[in-house]
Amino acid sequence: MEPILEVKKLRKSYLSKGKPVEAVKGIDLEIRRGEIFGFLGPNGAGKTTTLRMLSSLLVPDGGEARIAGYDLLRQPEKVRTRIGYVSQTGGSDRMATARENLYLQARLYGMAGKSARERTAAMIMAFDLDEIADRKVVTYSGGQHRRLDVALGMVHKPELLFLDEPTTGLDPQNRSRLWKEVWRLRDEGVTVFLTTHYMDEADMLSDRVAIMDRGEIVAEGTPSGLKKRIEEDTIILGLEKNGAVTEQAKQFLTGLPFVREAVQNRDKLLLMVRDGETRLPQILRLLDQHQIGLKTITLSQPTLDDVFMKETGHALHDAEKDLNR
Ligand SMILES: Nc1ncnc2c1ncn2[C@@H]1O[C@H](COP(=O)(O)OP(=O)(O)O)[C@@H](O)[C@H]1O
Ligand SMILES: [Mg+2]
């Protein structure tokens, strides 16, 4: 099936104090129908610039994009009917109610009064806004406000929804509630392209992820595929006795082909292991065979932070500090 979004060599520079800033340096992207695609990167990476170009709100300096079957540069008005865009700050009128905002949006997309009213009611139900629908937006909590923003982006039934940092500033409870909304949209067949600077969010929420740093895509794949590139897990064994027994355990574990390194600290043994998840049972059997008692065991797998670090040479949140220098 044709991808819903295909981007080649997309780029954009801004002039900042007379100097060009290359915000997006010629990126390629491909998004499949029905997936949740996460765009992970620190502040200033170029995520918003990319999303604004793909939503036809900003003209690229170069490159091409096909979105939902149309050429972004030649048929932007066609593209606009197929996509929804929710900006970082949202697009609601804060002095109006959710119902008024949704109704206006429906009318702007050309729906007649009756169908606009029906669509408004359906969106209020779908996004669980019924209790607050007739209150002014200024009175909403962060989570309610964000749900309305997403609802506004969905009024005209887009095939592809762009969400720019949908959960920034939300507390953990509202964050996971919004994740559920996004999963629900995907289950209804909507393709979702969202940006985030939260590593755990990109990991949990997305089917595929692109990691962006300084205007470039440095890695792309499924969260688990990306983490596999790190290749090493850490296993920490807490043994029953220290001394000679731990030393013995360290000896034979170091000899295993998939153990790269073993470090001992009293009764704790830290192992750097390839494919730790599947090796763990084998390690446990060996300890058993040598009659070495085990008190505790932990397996830590790499995170997308580790992937970011490997690909860019700096930590995700250091990158933000760099920009403020
Ligand atoms: N209107 C603008 N004028 C000048 N520079 C801009 C403008 N918008 C963004 N930038 C710069 O472009 C880079 C990318 O910004 P942005 O796309 O907002 O990144 P992100 O959304 O990942 O935080 C940053 O260096 C930012 O300062
Ligand atoms: Mg942004």
Q: CATH number for the domain including 166?
A: 3.40.50.300
Q: Are residues 83 and 215 in the same domain?
A: yes
Instruction: Compute the distance from residue 14 Cα to the ligand 1 centre, in Å.
Output: 8
Residue 282 belongs to a domain with what CATH number? Answer: 3.30.70.920
Atom of ligand 1 lying closest to residue 24 CA:
14
Query: What gap in Å lies between CA 130 and CA 98, rounded to an integer?
Result: 9
Q: How far is the CA of 141 from the centre of ligand 2 (A)?
A: 22
Best probe residue, ligand 1, of 16, 87, 196 (max atoms within 8 Å of C-beta): 16
46 lines ligand 1 (CB under 6 A): yes
Mark whether 269 and 143 lie in a shared domain.
Answer: no
Kindly list the averaged pLDDT for each block of 10 residues, start to end, along the chain of length 325. Answer: 95 94 97 97 96 97 97 96 94 96 96 97 95 97 95 96 95 92 95 95 95 96 90 89 82 91 86 90 92 92 88 76 47
DSSP 194-259: EEES-HHHHHHH-SEEEEEETTEEEEEE-HHHHHHTT-EEEEEEEES--THHHHHHHHHHHTSTTE
Gap from CA of 49 to ligand 1 centroid (Å): 6
DSSP state for residue 278 in the 8-state scheme: H
How many CB atoms within 10 Å of residue 312? 20
Note the ligand closest to the C-alpha atom of 16.
1
Instruction: Looking at the structure, tell me whether residues 252 and 138 fall in a common domain.
Output: no
Do 250 and 190 lie in one domain? The reply is no
Tell me which residue has its CA closest to atom 3 in ligand 1. Answer: 14
CA of 48 to the centre of ligand 1 (A): 7
Give SS3 for 139: helix
pLDDT at 318: 65
In a domain, 306, yes or no: no
Mutate to test the pocket of ligand 1, among 13, 14, 22 (most ligand atoms within 8 A of CB): 14
Dist CA 306 CA 316 (whole Å): 9
Q: Verify whether ligand 1 is closer than 6 Å to residue 196 (CB atom).
A: no
- Examine the domain organization and report whether 240 and 212 are in the same domain: no
Residue 81: domain span:
5-227
For residue 325, the model assigns a pLDDT of 39
161 CA to centre of ligand 1 in angstroms: 21
pLDDT of amino acid 324: 45
- Domain tally for the chain? 2
- The answer to whether position 235 is within a domain reads yes
Residues 112 and 236 in one domain: no
Backbone angles phi, psi at 239, to 5 degrees: -90, 160
pLDDT reported for residue 112: 96
Same domain, 31 and 44: yes
> What CA–CA distances, in Å, run from 12 to 48, 49, 195, 324?
11, 8, 18, 21
